[in-house]
Each structure stands twice: as C-alpha cells, then as structure tokens.
Amino acid sequence: MSTCVTIEDDLYCALDVTVAIDFSAAMLNQTNIENLVNFVLYSFTNNLPFGRSLLKVALLSYGIHHKARMSQYFDTYKDFSNEILTQWNESKQDSNLTRG
C-alpha cells in the first residue's frame, strides 16, 4: 500500500512549478486575462508552501511582444506575484485588447 506525502511533510523534496499565463489575443479581452491572473494569484499559488519547503515557482507567459517568456524561479510568493503583475501591465501596454 502506497503512502501519499504532502509537501509540508517532505521539506527536503525540491519542487519546481511552472505556471503559464496567456496574455495574448487568444484570451479575447482584458477581463478574461484579469480573471486568469486573479485565479492564479488568489486561488492557486497563494496556497503553495512558499518559505516552508524547497518550492520554487516560475512564470511562463505568452503574448507579450508576440512571444513566450520564461521567468526565473522564485521562492517567495511576493516575488512571484510581482512578476505576474509586472508582465500583465507590460502586456496591457503591448495589446489592443479591450475590457470585455
């Protein structure tokens, strides 16, 4: 019988997570992008054990200057969320999408 191990139980297990966010026209409008950003920041990554494990999280974004961009890995929620907000603001300046 196998045993499940949670991240908190295994502090020495390094875990690298990459979160992808689409800032491109495929999202149709800024409201859809805002909903995705809010979900990632306030319903998903805010629950990850930053600072309690060897967790590192990177951002893979699409649609800024019409290309994909991979960030460095972050080990704090604050740094990761700042990266998302910075790229989102940059995408707004680079986009002709309107609020839906």
User: 51 — alpha (psi -120 to 50), left (phi > 0) or beta?
Assistant: left
- Whole-number pLDDT of residue 15: 82
If we measure between CA atoms, which residue out of 76, 36, 81 comes closest to residue 59?
A: 81
- Whole-number pLDDT of residue 44: 94
- Whole-number pLDDT of residue 3: 47
| Contact by Cβ (8 Å): 57, 45 | yes
Domain count, the chain: 1
- Assigned domain for 63 exists: yes
Average of pLDDT values for 49-78? 89
If we measure between CA atoms, which residue out of 44, 1, 47 comes closest to residue 20?
A: 44
| Contact by Cβ (8 Å): 49, 7 | yes
- Whole-number pLDDT of residue 78: 97
**CATH number of the domain residue 69 falls in:** 3.40.50.410
- Assigned domain for 25 exists: yes
> The domain containing residue 43 runs over which residues?
15-94
**Percent of the chain scored above 70 by pLDDT?**
86
21-52 confidence digits (pLDDT tens) = 999 888 988 899 999 999 999 999 999 988 87
- Assigned domain for 53 exists: yes
